[in-house]
Structure 1
């Protein structure tokens, strides 16, 4: 009889130990995370579909969280200018997707690249504009997104500042262009194509007249973010190569 009582105690202790291990595993799988995430609405990187935030950057970030054992985090959708200010000024913040340019490289910590973007100057098709150099349209007005790479790229060309209209978002920049309140628009090819598809715009309303630059886009973390977080995220991204390629195919960002 004592033997069976001893055996029952051992079985009970083993059961308790297993339950503790399972609990610890579930807690670890849903561990909290100190970063606040921001994005803008900029398809196909991040946008709403059926009231759900999706896009290559959003989906890829979720894969990284899962690989890191991090519970799904809130993503705050804000105009680009606000998101850029938050990640510039506040600790433990991240903004995506941000083009990594020379003037930004030292300001943030980076995970990526997520995808490569081609930035163009767009004109109204009825203008008959054909140019080989941006100086040929210095007399035109152009819409850019405030604190976005489009603004930086246009500034780099010495475009007359009085002709640059800085919108707070891609939607606002597109609205200015569609209403013909500006002559030109600086935008990424993938962003424009996705906007045309989503908003059922005619592609014949937009004429690409000059390639500005080809740049890689990343997740930008605030400068104070611990290196171990950034390095772990980069390691996960590197490991998720197959999922990354599949998302590029799905969102047509090859």
Structure 2
């Protein structure tokens, strides 16, 4: 009974359920351990808050987005804070800034100044991810957009040449190339789509005191945060 009461007390003390996706260098597995800039930062915040290390549920992005949208007391990281998302969640950050690019195969002959120049091509994005939103915000034909479950799946579609183009962050592509030992000569950045800050997003009903405390800890941990950004080659 005492142990059960202790568990209940811990849940009351920190009721948040955490979700992330596999998207290096923000969050990924190394030697069966979940690491990455966002993972390491959130652990630093827990330590600063005196919160015991919490489980982090690794799920496809679309599921994580569904959970944080419809379930109370949930957090998802790292989420790009776009204009259409800003009012839907509560935010702690920024954790890092991401540059999102349109990627073509290196042997392609595309020379473009606007995304409209490749509306006749096919493209891989991540379902419910900012990459899908960025492409949907254009007039890119939806029947030529393949929404993959994860970054790995989108990258696999591209490297197998099942699509002509890939929408992905520069840091994510660099980390994936390093992990998979893919040659840089396979990829060609042809258009910058946007530059967006990424955050920890909390469900709208999360108590303000939790969100404010997390932001206060992140601000206080500025030096450690900067060191992690250097370690993971993020800015």
TM class, shorter-length: over 0.9
- For 2:134 and 2:188, the matched residues in 1 are separated by 19
Structure with bigger helix share is: 1
* Greater gyration radius: 1
The correspondence for 1:218, drawn from 179, 187, 199, is: 199
After superposing on structure 2, the runs of 4+ consecutive aligned residues of structure 1 that deviate more than 6 Å are 28-31
Name the residue aligned to 1:181: 162
Residue-by-residue CA offset, 1:122-165 (whole Å, 9 max, x unaligned): 00111121111100000000000000000000011121111111
Q: Which stretches in structure 1 are left out of the alignment for 5+ residues?
A: 1-27
Alignment of 1:171-210 (within 5 A): 171-210=152-191
- For 2:41 and 2:12, the matched residues in 1 are separated by 19
Asked if 2 retains the 8 angstrom alpha-carbon contact of 1:31 and 1:69, the reply is no
Name the residue aligned to 2:226: 245
Alignment of 1:159-170 (within 5 A): 159-170=140-151
TM-score normalised according to structure 2 size: 0.94
Name the residue aligned to 2:99: 118
Shift of 1:232: 0.4
Q: Which stretches in structure 2 are left out of the alignment for 5+ residues?
A: 1-8
What is the DSSP-based 3-state SS (H/G/I as helix, E as strand, rest coil) of the residue aligned with 2:107?
Answer: helix
- For 2:229 and 2:96, the matched residues in 1 are separated by 8
Alignment of 1:1-254 (within 5 A): 32-254=13-235
What is the DSSP-based 3-state SS (H/G/I as helix, E as strand, rest coil) of the residue aligned with 2:139?
Answer: coil
Asked if 2 retains the 8 angstrom alpha-carbon contact of 1:60 and 1:244, the reply is yes
Shift of 1:29: 11
Residue-by-residue CA offset, 1:19-74 (whole Å, 9 max, x unaligned): xxxxxxxxx99994100000000000000001100000000000000000000000
- For 1:201 and 1:47, the matched residues in 2 are separated by 17
- For 1:29 and 1:182, the matched residues in 2 are separated by 48
CA RMSD of aligned residues (A): 1.4
Shift of 1:118: 0.1
- For 2:163 and 2:126, the matched residues in 1 are separated by 13
- For 2:177 and 2:98, the matched residues in 1 are separated by 17
TM-score normalised according to structure 1 size: 0.87
- For 1:88 and 1:77, the matched residues in 2 are separated by 16
